[in-house]
Amino acid sequence: MSIQERYTGAVMNTFGPPALALTRGKGAHVWDADGKEYVDLLAGIAVNALGHAHPAIVEAVTTQLSTLGHVSNFFATEPQVALAERLLALLGWADGRVFFSNSGTEANEAALKLTRRTGRTRLVAAEGSFHGRTMGALALTSKSAYREPFEPLPGEVSFVPYDDVAALEAAVDDTVAAVVLEPVQGEAGVVVPSPGYLAAAQQVARDAGALFWLDEVQTGIGRTGAWFAHELVEGVEPDLVTLAKGLGGGIPIGATVARGAAATLLQPGNHGTTFGGNPVACAAALAVLDTIEADGLLEAVRDRGDQLARLLTDQTGVVDVTGAGLMRGAELDGPYAVEAVAAARDAGFILNATGPSRLRFVPPLVITSADLDALGAALPAILDAARTAAARSDTETTR
């Protein structure tokens, strides 16, 4: 019996049937159970910053696990403290503090609880947002298909159009605890706001005495060619930043980072986690940060990102390319993105569709120029096959 058949019989059907059963990886390449090789342009949904089986992560996890694997938060460990110090230094927040958890949704859940300690209960988020699947984080996520099966959700959340300063000004008043935004909306298909939007949103929050919270779960840790996407915008200094995904390079970890008065809002007894900040996950994250610095990956991400943007722009059928660094969205000239993902798998590439006509590219930060050249060479045939498959499906549907 295959891995996929066993999956169906043993794993809850929350994700649908898996497209592939993967057995190993190296760098930006993975292999399935039949031995077929793929270039991975999804990276575990922007998680595997250093690709697969990177020696720095393997060594860090192995070494740490041989000394201390888990101690709970009754005790401190060197990797936890060192990682907190490192993140604060990267942000430039001398007055900051970090809460560690295990995922992006947990990082956002902690931030949501932190905002309640302001004494205010309202939050303002954006249409098209995605902040996680736990009940609190889901309350901040706009997609009705995610929200409606679980309503009523906690909190008082107002959604306003993304990249619309006037809508924010109308929604934010002195009852709002925080304005929460993604610097680039990932789940929506790599939607990039206008250059002045984040700074204006920050000012709207400040004027109302609300916290300005940026969800950098997908955009953080080098994904856009900077440590944090908000660094690409002059004058943006959030009160809260949430991180996960690429931080651990594949080892689960999340971080809620606050500065100034916001850093002291959560006190003993207000929040907790059993596994968050465990030394193994923190050692992995330190290895990721060390490697990004030592190998000059921020510059490499900018270079490879420009290459990816060029090859996508040059494709017949691609009508718009968005994003920065190695976080790119491609809008197709028709609703055949799902078929493109399937055609890409056949051709040996793992892609991701975020909508009927939208593809998202978030490969490992270590992807090579040769890998992207191979994608560029294969894409014309992939998109042709996808258009043909979509047209065939439409014809069969209308019969």
Q: Which residues contact 299 (CB under 8 A, 6 or more apart)?
A: 225
Catalytic position from the list 32, 40, 100, 130: 130
Q: Which residues contact 60 (CB under 8 A, 6 or more apart)?
A: 283, 284, 286, 287
Q: Which residues contact 377 (CB under 8 A, 6 or more apart)?
A: none
If one counts every other C-beta atom within 10 angstroms of the C-beta of residue 15, the result is: 8
The backbone torsions φ and ψ at residue 352, rounded to the nearest 5 degrees and listed phi first, read -140, 135
Q: Is 143 a catalytic residue?
A: no
Three-state SS at 197: helix
For tokens 């998109």, name the residue. Answer: 383
Is the CB of residue 181 less than 8 Å from the CB of residue 200? no
Three-state SS at 51: coil
Q: What amino acid is encoded at 58 in this protein?
A: V
| Type and span of the H or E element at 374 | helix 369-398
DSSP 104: H
Catalytic position from the list 163, 215, 239, 371: 215
Is the CB of residue 253 less than 8 Å from the CB of residue 84? no
Of the candidates 227, 185, 178, the residue with the CA atom closest to the CA atom of residue 201:
178
How far apart are the C-alpha atoms of 176 and 183, rounded to whole Å? 20
Catalytic position from the list 228, 245, 349, 361: 245
How far apart are the C-alpha atoms of 156 and 244, rounded to whole Å? 25
Quick one: how far is CA 392 from the chain centroid? 34
Burial class (CB within 10 angstroms; exposed 0-12, middle 13-18, buried 19+) of 164? middle
Question: At CB < 8 A and 24+ separation, what contacts does 2-6 make?
Answer: 2/33, 3/33
Q: Is 159 a catalytic residue?
A: no
Query: Positive or negative CA dihedral for 185, 186, 190, 196?
Result: positive
Catalytically annotated residues: 130, 215, 245
